[in-house]
Amino acid sequence: MKKTLNIGIGGKSFIIDEDAYERLKDYLGTFRSRLKDDQGQEVMDDIEARIAELLLTNLRSGQQSVSLDMINQITTQLGMPDGKPENATNNYECKEETNMEPVKKLYLDVENRKLGGVCSGLAAYFDIDVTLIRIIFLALLLCGSFGFWLYIIIWIVAPKALTPAQKCELRGIEANAENMARFNDSTR
């Protein structure tokens, strides 16, 4: 019978096997030590939130507690902030690798905005030049009020991409440590 612990990750509570807990603790410690000086708590909060999201997804398949295999699968998927392998010890062999499709969601791109971030968000989402989107909205505005109302509706409905994980989702790239570190900055 395995010893289990009740822990909190990313604001969620999980029952986790003791060996899986030790593996996760080692991973987060190694991850934290590899972060650059200008990165910090925000990236750690985002990575813990992503781990919690992946754990919830895996636990929906009927499993009661988080296992070592599940933690190995997640740490392999997320990687390290510098892109180098973690060099896990033999105690934590990863038996399975997942190739999940990255999530792509529409957000307002607050970093490249001129007004509300609608055009830059649409451009990042569809991976086209922001100037083209701005010209299309200008043409729609000149042809009638449809462009204005469409812009306003998207501005109200779409959330802002504030965290590095949301910025990865906006561009449709995997929300792993390396990609989230690219979008981590202190300007909000």
Which pLDDT does position 182 carry in this prediction?
73
Mean pLDDT across the chain:
77
pLDDT (tens digit, 9 = 90+) per residue, 109-158? 888 888 888 888 888 888 899 899 889 888 888 887 777 888 888 889 98
Q: Is 111 inside any structural domain?
A: no
Residue scoring higher pLDDT (98 or 169): 169
Identify whether residues 24 and 61 lie together within a single domain. Answer: yes
Q: Does the pLDDT value for residue 160 go beyond 50?
A: yes
- How would DSSP label each residue in 46-69? HHHHHHHHHHHHHHTTS-SSB-HH
Identify whether residues 15 and 73 lie together within a single domain. Answer: yes
Q: Is 126 inside any structural domain?
A: yes
Q: Is 99 inside any structural domain?
A: no
Which pLDDT does position 95 carry in this prediction?
40
CA separation for the pair 181, 83 (Å, rounded): 10
CA separation for the pair 114, 32 (Å, rounded): 35
Q: Is 46 inside any structural domain?
A: yes
Q: Does the pLDDT value for residue 187 go beyond 50?
A: no
Q: What H or E segment, with its residue span, contains residue 122?
A: helix 118-126
- Among 36-40, 43-47, 88-92, 174-178, top mean pLDDT goes to 43-47
Identify whether residues 75 and 128 lie together within a single domain. Answer: no
Q: Does the pLDDT value for residue 171 go beyond 70?
A: yes
Q: Does the pLDDT value for residue 103 go beyond 80?
A: no
> What does the radius of gyration of the chain's CA atoms come to, in whole angstroms?
20
Per the DSSP assignment, residues forming a β-bridge with 47 are none
Q: Is 127 inside any structural domain?
A: yes
Identify whether residues 69 and 126 lie together within a single domain. Answer: no
| Domain hosting residue 136, numbered range | 118-183
Which pLDDT does position 132 carry in this prediction?
92
Identify whether residues 13 and 86 lie together within a single domain. Answer: yes
Identify whether residues 138 and 88 lie together within a single domain. Answer: no
Task: Identify which of 60, 59, 53, 68 has the alpha carbon closest to the alpha carbon of residue 102.
Answer: 53
Residue scoring higher pLDDT (163 or 82): 163
Number of helices followed by number of strands (H, E) in the chain: 8, 2
The single-letter code of the amino acid at 171 is: R
Task: Identify which of 71, 112, 111, 108 has the alpha carbon closest to the alpha carbon of residue 91.
Answer: 71
Q: Does the pLDDT value for residue 98 go beyond 60?
A: no
Identify whether residues 45 and 122 lie together within a single domain. Answer: no
Identify whether residues 14 and 86 lie together within a single domain. Answer: yes
Identify whether residues 16 and 85 lie together within a single domain. Answer: yes
Going by DSSP bridges, is the β-strand pair 12-17/4-9 parallel, antiparallel, or unpaired? antiparallel
When divided into structural domains, the chain yields a total of 2
* Cβ proximity of 16 and 65 under 8 Å: yes
pLDDT (tens digit, 9 = 90+) per residue, 11-70? 888 888 888 888 888 888 887 777 665 566 777 788 888 888 888 877 766 667 788 888
Q: Is 100 inside any structural domain?
A: no
Q: Is 77 inside any structural domain?
A: yes
Identify whether residues 178 and 122 lie together within a single domain. Answer: yes
Among 92, 110, 143, identify where a domain stops.
92
Identify whether residues 122 and 168 lie together within a single domain. Answer: yes
Identify whether residues 18 and 74 lie together within a single domain. Answer: yes
pLDDT band at 1 (very low <50, low <70, confident <90, very high): low
8-state DSSP, 90: G
Which pLDDT does position 9 carry in this prediction?
84
